[in-house]
A and B are shown apart, each in its own frame.
Chain A
Amino acid sequence: MKRNLYRLVALFLIVGFVLIGCSNKTSNDGSESKDAVAQETVKKEGKDITIAVAANFVSLDPHDTNDTLSGSAEKTMMEGLVGFDKDMNVVPVLAKDYSVNDDATEFVFELQEGVKFHDGAPFNAEAVKVNLDRLTDPDSTLIRSSLFELIKETEVVDEYTVKVTLSEPFGAMINTFAHPAGMLISPKALEEYGDDVSQHPVGTGPYVFKEWQPGDHLTMTKNEDYWRATGNEADSITFKPTPENGTRVAMLQTGEADFIYPVPTEQAEEIDGKDGIVVENEASIVVRYLAMNNLKKPFDDKRVRQAVNYAINKEAFTQVVMNGFASPMDSIIAPNTQFYSKQTPYEFDLEKAKELLTEAGYENGFKATIWGANSSTTMKAMEFIQQQLAQINVELEVVPMETGTLSDSIWSVEDPKDAEIEMYYGGWSPSTGDADWGIRPLVGGENAYPPKSYNTAYYNNKEVNKLIADGLATGDPAAREKAYADAQEKIWEDAPWAFLVVDDTIFGKKNYLEGIYLLPDGSLSLENMKIVE
């Protein structure tokens, strides 16, 4: 009996040592080579690139897509009249040039000549018209139709000139054309496949669709007749949906993937600079905020909302919740959003927060609930806020909810007075990259209250509403800039939210890949990708 016991103990010890051995190895490596640049370039076999992504693709029809990930895949195959550069500035793509009239109602595009879609259909003014007409068809059920609903008419001026007329001024329209939803599909494919074009994407882009096995992979091959000269060297691109963070990282380590995104922030430092891996991060345009219901006590008092802002240490939030991969917000929109204007931060100041609470008549604090999704990062964020606000005697109850339940709780409310929401931890990415889409849906007064839009703070300020309208009424960038700058200042002062952080985009790649990156909106750009020896 005793002997058996010894054997058992010995077995435990052996297993234990094996496990410790495995984990030690990784931590030792971590301290050895930190410098990613100093690594030797790993050799790449062949020119087929694999990219592991976190979710499945939903659709490959840009007019019917609302997730950034599907948009990324579409962007490798399709292009729009205009697009975004690395800093989210609007740049010409299939349009050589464009002009806008003063009140932002007429847009004239001069098109590139001699461009062909992958199926041989010519790219011309007629093709543009077919696409825009598809989006603006009153019977259309395409998800992105609403972005283009202001278009009254699209005219073919001549073979390579298109004129788009809006029903009312809309200064942010050029950004809408640059949005992935504005990408153009071959008219021939549209006719052939109808709405099934979502499984047979045909564009003018650098890659041609090959096959899509949902849940497994999506592959495209190089467009040998691409109209633009690029340094792109990959023969094919394969996307692999890999939801588990650890597996995605492992794929990059083993070389099964050449590029992965996002990289989980917890593992970013551990893998950077090893096995030929480089991890890169850049500021995105995604903001993380804590909305407070401005119609409800105690949040109907500006001083309370400001106190909450002073009581949360955003630097600590960045470190604790985002593992350092974020930066504190200093306006309601992120710096890479067009017409951003920097505000004076609410520095972490508990004394000031307590003072403001006392002034507002809450010297003993108050109780509130905070809602948010049930993902681990969101829960961590909410618990952090709970802990921070406890310092000024504000007692928070954290209520994590599954996505569907959460959206039901927030967006099924018909009358703002019935809204139960008190505090809500949310995130927002203005996909057009324009200030309008970063402000209007979120704090744009009664017209944006749920369920119509996303004003979860039930914030309604007449001055701000007017400034938002002014910003849309003109195509003149200087006038728009002024309107949005004033709006941002006013909103910052009113503090409908506790302004938290701007996320980083974060990706990992093997060091033989160059020219591939994520845009601030989280979409992928690989048209200038190079494989270096």
Chain B
Amino acid sequence: MAKYVIKRLIGIIPILFLVSIFIFLFVHLIPGDAARLVAGQDATLQDVELVRKELGLDQPIYKQYFSFITGVFQGDLGTSIKTGRPVFDEIAMRFMPTFWLTFWSMIWAVIVGLVIGVISATKRNKWQDYLGMFVAVSGISMPSFWLGLLLIQLFAVQLGWLPTGGLESWKSYILPSITLGSGVAAVVARFSRSSMMDILKDDYIRTGRAKGLNEHKVVWGHGLKNAMIPVVTMTGLQFGFLLGGSVVIETVFSWPGLGRLLIDSVAFRDYPVIQSEMLLFALEFILINLIVDLIYGFLNPQIRYD
């Protein structure tokens, strides 16, 4: 097991290296001249050239990549074109707010989603099922910025219970995490419903029932664990996406997180920040995949790691 984890971790390095080349080319292929954007609206050509030189954007692209990647290996992600601060600081400052927001959103979304999914599966075609799936469909189809603004209007403006945005206390987490999690909860509900329905047809469930186990234990004790496998995969993916910062939600709630940083950076063609952030997202996905694989083993001991 430990050997497996170490092997996987070492495998990350070449993957990240390849990813970094793609990211670098991709970022530099986006049309738009960073130097002109940095120099600003009323800059003269002379200013623009000055900025270009200062930022090293006048160098051939392979040289720029080389200095980027050597920097990464030395733990130096470069300096932000826009603010002139170290990229590492810029990202570090925004990482935790996004991480905790994602974490709390996932916690409630998975719990609520599972409960709805399992109840819907066991009460198939009854009103509980309709209600659950109605909520799930709403959760998926409601645009998150609209839901966010609606929640702000209701809980901040009308009732005055919660802040409209920013990050000041635990209360600041409530509205954005509801908004962010609603989509995930809906997906989890749908996945766990169909997965659970398949499981409930299986022989061992019938055997359990025949043995006289009570229904509660059959469903929550035996069925759920197996039904979880596809749900875990999907949840892992969602977690990866959300960690990348939900741009829309961070904008609506003025959240000082990675999503907003990315949007600002793209608008500014702040190459060092875009590159580093995307590299971080790739790393997050790879790590989450590893964790998902490990959870499989826990859920189904038949899966062996070699």
- Contacts from A to B (Cβ < 8 Å): 3-4, 7-8, 11, 22, 25, 56, 58-59, 66-67, 141, 143, 145-146, 195, 198-199, 213-217, 240-244, 246-247, 250-251, 253-254, 256, 402-405, 407-409, 411-412, 428-431, 437, 441, 451-454
Contacts and interface: CB of A to CB of B under 8 A. Distances in A.
B44 A146 contact: yes
A143 B47 contact: yes
A4 B149 contact: no
B43 interface: yes
B253 interface: yes
B33 A411 contact: yes
Nearest to A55: B264
B126 A4 contact: yes
A143 B39 contact: yes
B164 A256 contact: yes
Given A195-B84, A213-B93, A254 B252 contact: no
Given A7-B127, A244-B252, A404-B32, 5 more contacts: A56-B264, A243-B251, A244-B251, A431-B42, A453-B44
A8 B160 CA distance: 31
A405 B153 CA distance: 36
A25 B157 CA distance: 12
B222 interface: no
B302 interface: no
A56 B131 CA distance: 42
A416 to B, nearest CB: 14
Contacts of A25: 158
B44 A452 contact: yes
B42 A8 contact: no
Interface in B180-231: none
B45 A451 contact: yes
Given A7-B127, A7-B130, A404-B267, A254 B164 contact: yes
A143 B48 CA distance: 9
B167 A216 contact: yes
6 contacts: A22-B158, A240-B254, A246-B149, A250-B153, A408-B31, A411-B33
B126 A246 contact: no
B2 interface: no
A247 B152 contact: yes
Contact of B33 (A66, A246, A407, A453): A407
Contacts of A408: 31-33
B42 A454 contact: yes
B31 to A, nearest CB: 4
Nearest to A430: B42
A516 B131 CA distance: 52
Which DSSP category, helix, strand, loop or mixed, fits chain B's interface? Answer: helix
A199 B85 contact: yes
A219 to B, nearest CB: 13
B82 to A, nearest CB: 6
B90 interface: yes
A145 B84 CA distance: 17
B165 A251 contact: yes
A141 B38 CA distance: 12
Nearest to A454: B42
B267 A412 contact: no
A328 B153 CA distance: 35
B74 interface: no
For the complex of A and B, the 4 pairs showing the least CB-CB separation, nearest first, are A404-B32, A66-B40, A216-B256, A215-B256
A215 B261 contact: yes
B31 A411 contact: no
B42 A243 contact: no
A143 B54 CA distance: 11
A214 B164 CA distance: 19
A3 B125 CA distance: 12
A407 B32 contact: yes
A217 B30 CA distance: 30
Nearest to B48: A451
B83 A58 contact: yes
Nearest to B129: A4
B141 interface: no
Contacts of B32: 402-405, 407-408
A452 B84 CA distance: 25
B37 A407 contact: yes
Contact of A412 (B33, B47, B51, B85): B33
A437 B251 CA distance: 34
Nearest to A23: B153
Contacts of A412: 33
Given A143-B40, A244-B251, A247-B165, A254 B126 contact: no
A466 B253 CA distance: 52
Given A213-B256, A246-B149, A405 B31 contact: yes
Given A247-B149, A254-B164, A403-B267, A198 B84 contact: yes
A243 B165 contact: no
A246 B269 CA distance: 26
Interface string B163-184: 1111100000000000000000
A286 to B, nearest CB: 11
Nearest to A246: B149
A247 B164 contact: yes
B131 A11 contact: yes
Contacts of B166: 216-217, 240, 256
A241 B254 contact: yes
Contacts of B9: none
B274 to A, nearest CB: 12
Contacts of A437: 42
Contacts of A56: 264
A22 B154 contact: yes
B36 A407 contact: yes
Given A213-B256, A241-B254, A453-B45, A8 B164 contact: no
A143 B37 contact: no
